Structure 1
Amino acid sequence: MLELLLPPPVDPLWDLTEAYGADVRPERLNLVLGVYRDDTGGTPVMAAVREAEIRLAERSFSKEYRGLSGNLAFNHAMLSMVLGEGGAAERAVAVQTVAGSGALRLLADLVCRTRPGTTVWISDPAYVNHRPILEAAGLTVRTYAWLDAEGRPDTEGLLRDLGQARRDDVVLLQGCCHNPTGVDPTPETWQALADLAVQVGWVPFVDLAYHGLGDGLEADLAATRMLAERVPEMLVAISCSKNFGLYADRTGCAIVIGSSRQSLRHVETALQNAARTLYSMPPEHGAAVVATVLEDDGLRALWRAELDEMRGRIEANRSGLARQLASLGWADRAASLARQKGMFSMLPLSPHQMLRLRNGFAIYGTTAGRINIAGIPADRIPCLANGIAAVLAEQPESAVHAG
């Protein structure tokens, strides 16, 4: 049987990570995976998370199964954090998932079971795993415009493309800190998207993976909350990997918002059934940690302060890189970088130039130009800027204004 298996495509991010691991150059710099790192290059455990883990250990909780919906206190905390108390939260259900990717897949399965062959629209470019997850669930994927030639939001193209979506199509939108570009819609564009969704009847599917790391937690959730109040139905996939630092604990949540509580009567069971066939029940530890943090005023305040500190470091890295590039004669490219938000940025480099950056300077980013701004030690920013400037100077005519 196994000899009949054709060579499958390799995951591009992990393929690059393996290449980085095999690189023996001491100056190598890994900016591939979306992991927050401090100035030492480590990924610290947040103090609020550490304290929550101590409290959980002292309580000696049982390792018994929690059930198909996972940790109910965690689910309630996610509804309250993302949607606020009352309003849309009163017509929503939530289930714990295996991280944000699990939430995406669970909700995609729900869409396919409800209406097989549904078309889901994603941005171009999109998070590398969006299309594979949606297509694996049996959905049809189309794309909408995101950036113009100068790396700015292509609002006209975005609204034009989504104006072609049909009633009951699903539109996947990243709620903040767009991956891979770092380019987000303005509040006015979010309002226009809500108008279009109500007018046409397509269903927003919001992916929240970086809230708190862009403009602050409340600001980063504003578009999601506005959409939830305006549209009759909506899907939300949430990851706790980045803003709680729970990467290995695989903690996420899937939220479905309906027109009324009555409209949701079969939704939780459908999500549970889908989970049962995918992974049965989600892991408990990370969800218990998050619930403990968000239910305690002191821990919640500590977490918010740490999250703001992380956001500040990301902003400092981005502005520092922009200043360095400008000082090296690339002010236009620096301005493009400075406008972006969140953990990722798209360098204005072609795939060939990204390969040159990797081979010539031991700087690893994706072929498309994405780098993890949150993964740069502050003292390596001049080195990164010098490498980018050198590659741009070698072949400036082939650079891509990717935002």
Structure 2
Amino acid sequence: MLKELQPQPKDKILMLMEMFKADPREQKVDLGVGVYKDANGVTPVMRAIKAAEKQLWETETTKSYTGLAGDPAFAAGMRELVLGDAVPADRVAAAATPGGTGAVRQAFDLVRMANPDVTVWVSAPTWPNHVSILKHMGIPTREYRYFDDETCAVDFDGMVADLDGLKAGDVVLLHGCCHNPTGANLTLPEFKKVAEILNAKGAIPMIDIAYQGFGDGLEADAAGVRHVVSACPESLVAASCSKNFGIYRERAGVLMAIQEDAAKTAVAQGTLNHLNRQNFSFPPDHGARLVGMILADDALKADWMAELEEMRLGMLKLREQLAEELRKLTGSDRFGFIAQHRGMFSRLGLTPEQVEKMREDHGIYMVGDSRFNVAGLNEKTVPLLAKAIAAVDKV
């Protein structure tokens, strides 16, 4: 039987990593992998995580199973962090998952259970794994226009026009903030308009928020999410702790299902528990417990927020530096959008051929659609990237 298996397509980012490692040039820059890096190229362990780990090491007495939904303190902390007071707590069912990706997968399972004929609408473009998982699960998808390659901004008119094709029971996948791969985000008024469309069509929002705190700040980054969940009777939110807590390998995520009626929350919670049981039984605990500890402790939370803000401002500074370097080199504001985008990523609007030329001629590695990781830069490598972009842009 196993001999019938066919080779699967290689992940483009992992292939890029292999190419980067094999490149003998000393002056090379990796802007493909989606992890935060400091000025020294290191993905640091945050101070609050270190402190919480020390506390846990000193006090933890067992490694026995948690509940099927994970540590309740983690779910409560993440509900408050992401949703604030947008909806009453008794309308929210929540379950810990293996990272944000696990939350996304569980959400897709949940909507298929609720509506076997569901169609999931995704932005064009979206995080490639969204589409990959949906295809693997056999769930029909449709795209809505989102990013304008000419302006490198959100094509909101196109988005609205496409969402007119929604039917009742469809799910619309939105990015809560720091859109991956483009860095171009909906404004709060645009989120409000989307919520109106969803309600008029009887469609349900599913929001993937993986970068809260990396854009305009913790509260501002959650504003769109909070409006949508408060305005729509039902919604799903998949949240990741990988980036904003720096615990990528610990795989800490959460799926929240917001009900119209609190009386139905128990059924939703039982369904989330059931899905966890079918897929991996009990979710990973270490990272989730650290996050729960930090969010429940005023001192740890304050230190985490301070370090997260340092990271956010550092990325903004790199964006502004790159936009200014390109302004000098090109004599135009064509790349001014880089300073306006938010989060770890931006999409430059270059062709795959131009991206390949930057790799071959300048040792600059980024994904073929010209998405690059801002956090992979530092003050010294920004000029290198700017020169490479300016050089290929003339071709």
TM category, shorter: over 0.9
Alignment of 1:343-358 (within 5 A): 343-358=344-359
Question: Would the alpha carbon gap of residues 136 and 268 (structure 1) be closer, same or farther in structure 2, given more than 3 Å must change?
Answer: farther
Q: Give the letter aligned to residue 236 of structure 1.
A: V
1:238 is aligned to 2:243: no
Q: Aligned residue for 1:66?
A: 66
Deviation at 1:86, TM superposition (A): 7.0
Q: Give the letter aligned to residue 364 of structure 1.
A: Y
- 1:354–1:367 Cα contact (<8 Å) kept: yes
Alignment of 1:12-51 (within 5 A): 12-51=12-51
- 1:112–1:137 Cα contact (<8 Å) kept: no
1:134 is aligned to 2:126: no
Q: Give the whole-Å Cα distance in 2 for the aligned partners of 1:331 and 1:322.
A: 10
- 1:176–1:184 Cα contact (<8 Å) kept: yes
Q: Aligned residue for 1:107?
A: 107
Alignment of 1:161-172 (within 5 A): 161-172=162-173
**% identical equivalent positions:** 41
Q: Unpaired runs of 5+ in structure 1? A: 396-403
- 1:321–1:381 Cα contact (<8 Å) kept: yes
Deviation string 1:294-341 (CA, Å, 9 cap, x unpaired) is: 000011111111111000000011111111111101523321222211
Secondary structure at 2:172 match in 1:
strand
Secondary structure at 2:96 match in 1:
strand
Deviation string 1:275-312 (CA, Å, 9 cap, x unpaired) is: 22222211111011101100000111111111110000
Q: Give the whole-Å Cα distance in 1 for the aligned partners of 2:117 and 2:135.
A: 10
Question: Would the alpha carbon gap of residues 33 and 79 (structure 1) be closer, same or farther in structure 2, given more than 3 Å must change?
Answer: same
Q: Give the letter aligned to residue 316 of structure 1.
A: K
Q: Compare 373-382 and 333-342 and name the one that shifted more.
A: 333-342
- 2:90–2:265 Cα contact (<8 Å) kept: no
Q: Aligned residue for 1:337?
A: 338
Q: Give the letter aligned to residue 110 of structure 1.
A: L
Q: Give the whole-Å Cα distance in 2 for the aligned partners of 1:275 and 1:24.
A: 44
Deviation at 1:94, TM superposition (A): 0.5
Q: Give the letter aligned to residue 95 of structure 2.
A: V
Q: Aligned residue for 1:87?
A: 87
Q: Give the whole-Å Cα distance in 2 for the aligned partners of 1:220 and 1:330.
A: 33
- 1:330–1:389 Cα contact (<8 Å) kept: no
Deviation at 1:136, TM superposition (A): 2.4
Secondary structure at 1:238 match in 2:
strand
1:381 is aligned to 2:376: no
- 1:68–1:272 Cα contact (<8 Å) kept: yes
- 1:112–1:138 Cα contact (<8 Å) kept: no
Q: Aligned residue for 2:370?
A: 369
Normalising by structure 1, we get a TM-score of 0.95
Deviation string 1:22-75 (CA, Å, 9 cap, x unpaired) is: 112111111111111111111111101110111101103311110211111101
Q: Give the whole-Å Cα distance in 2 for the aligned partners of 1:203 and 1:88.
A: 19
Deviation at 1:183, TM superposition (A): 0.3
1:192 is aligned to 2:193: yes
Count of residue pairs the alignment pairs up:
394
Q: Give the letter aligned to residue 28 of structure 2.
A: R
- 2:86–2:227 Cα contact (<8 Å) kept: no
Q: Aligned residue for 1:318?
A: 319
- 1:176–1:210 Cα contact (<8 Å) kept: yes
Q: Give the whole-Å Cα distance in 1 for the aligned partners of 2:331 and 2:155.
A: 23
- 1:118–1:170 Cα contact (<8 Å) kept: yes
Question: Would the alpha carbon gap of residues 330 and 210 (structure 1) be closer, same or farther in structure 2, given more than 3 Å must change?
Answer: farther
Q: Give the whole-Å Cα distance in 2 for the aligned partners of 1:20 and 1:61.
A: 43
Q: Give the whole-Å Cα distance in 1 for the aligned partners of 2:86 and 2:195.
A: 20
Secondary structure at 1:320 match in 2:
helix
Q: Aligned residue for 1:400?
A: none
Deviation at 1:267, TM superposition (A): 1.4
Secondary structure at 2:154 match in 1:
coil
Secondary structure at 1:166 match in 2:
coil
Q: Give the whole-Å Cα distance in 1 for the aligned partners of 2:60 and 2:88.
A: 36
Secondary structure at 2:334 match in 1:
helix
CA RMSD of aligned residues (A): 1.2
Q: Unpaired runs of 5+ in structure 2? A: none
